[in-house]
Structure 1
């Protein structure tokens, strides 16, 4: 009996020694190779392209978060539209050719979605056929083996991706998929599912998430994301939208986490955008790069009416937008925006 055990162990060691000589083998839950082999194999795979500047790359699980009513869904639809057409959003970078995008919309009804891409429900914006939008099937009879619709969706997501041939998936939003995402256990299960789906199906995933009510006078950090610790550990990249104190329609985009690039859009170099609907498509328009601090709420700042009076006076003095912005501690884009509203 003892000899049999020794023989089994010796045989097992011999097998693994042979695998070691081949420089690649599986042991338990690990795949082990020489570092040089990993590099050589990686050379045969394409370099990830930018999907939304350096904020989101191909085959990443990325999180976009912000407080409510700041335009997460608006920006996400705009990104989906850009990727489906293979056209970059002005002011941002897109390196990939047109891709099929599956947008899982658990926020808006079809009528609400229509309103955002039309002029009073007429003159509708035309999307590319690569843009697929999905809503929840509310009349679906849930299979008995699943506790809830969230669990059913996570279990069938891979099959949905295969069926639609999507290479990009946008989930709007995380709160729906895990109503208790602030709890570490639920966040961990969810992010593992998305990470596995991304790797197995070779898809890029953008997940939208809310923040708990935050103080607009403070810098945005990873701690502002609900369930931040576990979510941040399992996502590849993350960026956030903040509100601007300079102009009601202004937003700024800040990079929170990155793996494929250096940290470019930090607190000293956030991306400032205006949120407008010039025709039939509500969207973000690139304005400038700026320091996050200049857009934070200050409790001793002058009122909007006082600022408008100051701007009017400085315009009458012949100062340029840049000089007025420097004088009032605002961005040039904010001055341009206010002058347009004031018609001066």
Structure 2
């Protein structure tokens, strides 16, 4: 590509304060000296999320990412400093934007059949969409404006967004649509000195015999590029309530090949993740033959329920090759 200068003649940078321009140029030694005066980022959720980061957590539907995020918010609001998901910070306010559950659904998860409710710290501030709001022509503009108002009003430095799809009227499954949203979140982080945990989903069903990767995240390239850290939750083949948590990107700590095995449980009035042990993802994946049988059943069922659906659409939804879908349909469809 032939790059040409774009600076106009009437644009003068002479005498301009370097802090006002787009770029800041300084020596590496100056960078280090400035960094020395800044506090060391503390853990907000073990090694998965640190202060000052935009962190992405993703999982398939009904795996438990919202449950985990609420547990993280509870830990931070109370300053719980024990366990693998501990925070190193003092108790502080958390703005939890819950765009998924109604207040009654939220109540059910954190009570015993609507009684004996879990006691939250007042630092836990839950935010939801006003059901009476109707002007969706300016929804995004209004949403971003009110998010910034609440940041200023509450003085919260911790934001959890459940989930990213509610921040944009456009689909976030493409890199193109995810880019401006991630730029906005980064700007928000820098402007208000925030730490953000943003929940996302997988756009297709995962092959249960394949390891989870960043490619399973909607809008994966742009979202991952702008995120400081990324981790995911997978469903384990070891049991219906067993999950594993896998770190996929980190800038504030060393990466590991291990995953964190947990059990999704509700011993009393709090539905959450209980850590079991560290092991390897391969132990949680289904054998290829079993996964193949499951895939065959899903493909045949999808075609039987909707004979007009194309093989390409099935392939896209399941994240497999079109020819694999064709072979399954030709061999097993009645």
Number of the residue aligned with 1:55: 48
1:224 aligns with 2:216: yes
Name the SS for the 1:32 alignment partner. Answer: coil
Number of the residue aligned with 1:329: none
Question: Within 2, Cα distance between the matches of 1:87 and 1:30?
Answer: 39
Aligned partners of 1:82 and 1:89 also within 8 Å: no
Name the SS for the 1:138 alignment partner. Answer: coil
Alignment partner of 1:153 out of 116, 127, 143 = 143
Where does the alignment leave 5 or more consecutive residues of structure 1 unmatched?
A: 1-7, 20-24, 302-344
Number of the residue aligned with 2:238: 246
Describe how 1:88-99 pairs up with structure 2 within 5 A: 88=81, 90-99=83-92
Give the structure-1-normalised TM-score: 0.77
Cα drift, residue 12 of structure 1: 6.5
Number of the residue aligned with 2:174: 183
Alignment partner of 2:163 out of 164, 173, 188 = 173
Alignment partner of 1:281 out of 270, 277, 280 = 270
Number of the residue aligned with 1:129: 122
Cα drift, residue 37 of structure 1: 1.2
Name the SS for the 1:253 alignment partner. Answer: strand
1:208 aligns with 2:196: no
Question: Within 1, Cα distance between the matches of 2:32 and 2:267?
Answer: 48
Question: Within 2, Cα distance between the matches of 1:151 and 1:257?
Answer: 30
Name the SS for the 1:196 alignment partner. Answer: helix
Number of the residue aligned with 1:67: 60
Cα drift, residue 39 of structure 1: 1.1
Name the SS for the 1:170 alignment partner. Answer: strand
Larger radius of gyration: 1
Question: Within 2, Cα distance between the matches of 1:156 and 1:37?
Answer: 37
1:255 aligns with 2:244: no
Name the SS for the 2:111 alignment partner. Answer: coil
Question: Within 2, Cα distance between the matches of 1:177 and 1:12?
Answer: 36
Number of the residue aligned with 2:190: 199
**C-alpha spacing 1:75/1:27, structure 2 compared with 1 (3 Å):** closer
Cα drift, residue 183 of structure 1: 2.5
Cα drift, residue 147 of structure 1: 3.3
Cα drift, residue 199 of structure 1: 1.0
Aligned partners of 1:154 and 1:193 also within 8 Å: no
Alignment partner of 1:33 out of 2, 19, 26 = 26
Number of the residue aligned with 2:94: 101
Aligned partners of 2:46 and 2:86 also within 8 Å: yes
Give the structure-2-normalised TM-score: 0.79
Name the SS for the 1:33 alignment partner. Answer: coil
Alignment coverage as a number of residue pairs? 280
